[in-house]
Amino acid sequence: MLKATKLVDEELYNIVVGELKRQENNIEMIASESTAPIPALELSGSVFTNKTLEGYPGARYQSGAEFADKMEILGVERCKALFKADHANIQPISGSTANYSVYAAVLKPGDTVLSMRLDQGGHLTHGSTVSQTSKYYNFIHYGVHADTEQINYEELEELAIKHKPKLIISGGSSYPRLIDYERISDIAKKVGAYSMADIAHVSGLVAAGIIPSPIPHTDFVSSSTTKTICGPRGGMVMCKAEHAKALDRGVFPRTLGSIHVHVMAAKTYVFKRAATEEFKQLMIQTVKNAKHLATCLEKDGFRIVSGGTDNHLVMVDLRPKGINGKQFQEALDYVGITVNKNMIPFDTEKPSITSGVRIGTTAISQRGLKETEVEQIAAIMNKVAENITNQEVLDACKQEASDLISNFPLYQEDFDPVTI
């Protein structure tokens, strides 16, 4: 896949090979990551890269769209069938722009929106004060109960009644539990608001049918395509039939110019793959691995936020170990386990330090790691936490992590993305 690059730009080729080796040699556990299948890499780099297009199939602003139209129609149909959605738009170039499209479809500047706090599981684009979204709209936030660390639906309802938002958002980037989409949509209906579920993290689990779907209840469902659904860097939005026109306008021309047609091709393939039994089994194992990781870490004295997980991610409170998220992320990075520091509910540390880490199991499950290996990973994590400044122990952990992951190739040898 990089043969031509190697001939013309060896310096850049070596950087990409370095990244491939990094991914191969490390235990990648960032919850928003997955390993894109080879066809998705191929399609993202295909000749559709050359095509400039705006608009929709049959109504483009540029000519030469016959094959792109065929592909987009196929992708939309596959997406609708996979999620059992009335309507889908697969043009957004990320989960963030997918969210902006929904805002552009139904909100005017200054409208009130109710969403989950970022530091309790939400997302930057759900009106965090550091996001531009908070400047355009009047965001109000709900959170989790202090004791269960699960969504405080009573607070959500009270805030909805008090502030009469135009849109209520569920979902986010660090919430490990199932979400009662029906309850949130009912609250939205009661106060005359639209509902939107951001399933960026769990869209693979939803597609596989192993956790409840918001589709029957929620007006708009947005997602990125690179997390549990294991696809390229992109986004998508689904909605009920009555919102189709508004959504399409919200995507183009309100938030997007020309489309990333090449990435849309990769999404189209990924929707086919996500409908297979093999993908369903992968998602089942991903959740089993996350649950087992939570159990093992808890046994070792870590505190698990909300007491466990129902999806692919585990939120870990490091305070019982006397360390913070930054220290643990850096030490794990040294030993070859990649995670990210993350705020936990009611965190007193700054976002650049944090009291917790977020750990995901999608990428390791794709490589074939199961409960036995998860136990080994948890044991390494515990040794690292207990010996954060002990170089000898960290070096031994590094060797252990390397030995473990070397048995599970990132890509099968004859499909190595550099040499094919």
- What residues contact residue 171 under an 8 Å CB cut-off, 6+ apart? 116, 123, 179, 197, 198, 199, 200, 201, 202, 214
Quick one: CA dihedral 210, 215, 217, 222, positive or negative?
positive
Nearer to ligand DSN, 23 or 387 (CB): 23
Residue whose structure tokens are 């207990």: 386
Residue recorded with tokens 């684009």: 125
Closest separation in Å from C-beta 123 to ligand DSN? 6
Structure tokens belonging to residue 342: 């993350």
Least gap, CB of 365 to ligand DSN (angstroms): 17
Q: Which is nearer to ligand DSN, 123 or 260 (CB)?
A: 123
Q: Which two tokens stand for residue 111?
A: 């409208």
* Helices 325-335 and 391-405: angle between axes, nearest 10 degrees: 60
What is the C-alpha to C-alpha distance for residues 120 and 170, in angstroms, rounded to an integer?
12
Beta carbon nearer to ligand DSN, 53 or 332: 332
- Distance of closest approach, residue 31 Cβ to ligand DSN, in angstroms: 6
Q: Which is nearer to ligand DSN, 173 or 362 (CB)?
A: 173
Task: Give residues 27-46 in contact with ligand DSN (rule: CB under 6 A).
Answer: 32
Tell me whether residue 112 or residue 226 sits nearer to ligand DSN (CB atom). 226
Residue 378: C-alpha distances to residues 79, 155, 301 (Å): 36, 35, 11
Asked if 97 touches ligand DSN (CB under 6 A), the answer is no
Q: How many residues bind ligand DSN (CB under 6 A)?
A: 3
Judged by beta carbon, residue 34 or residue 306, the one nearer ligand DSN is: 34
Judged by CB under 6 A, the chain residues 236 through 255 that form the site for ligand DSN are none
Instruction: Indicate which single residue of 44, 91, 173, 213 sits in contact with ligand DSN (rule: CB under 6 A).
Output: 173
Taking CB under 6 A as the rule, does residue 170 contact ligand DSN?
A: no
How far from the centroid of its chain's Cα atoms is residue 307's Cα?
21
224 backbone dihedrals φ, ψ, rounded to 5°? -90, 175
Binding status of residue 285 toward ligand DSN by CB under 6 A: no
Q: How far is the CB of 311 from ligand DSN (least distance, A)?
A: 12
Least CB distance from residue 79 to ligand DSN, whole Å? 19
For the chain, how far is it from start to end, CA to CA, in angstroms? 5
Q: Give 32 or 286: the residue with its C-beta nearer to ligand DSN.
A: 32
- Nearest distance in Å: CB 200, ligand DSN: 7
Cβ nearer to ligand DSN, comparing 339 with 384: 339
342 binds ligand DSN (CB under 6 A): no
Helix boundaries (H) for 9-152: 10-25, 38-44, 66-83, 95-106, 133-136
Under the binding rule (CB under 6 A), the answer on residue 128 touching ligand DSN is no
Q: What is the residue type of 291?
A: K
Binding site for ligand DSN (CB under 6 A): 32, 123, 173
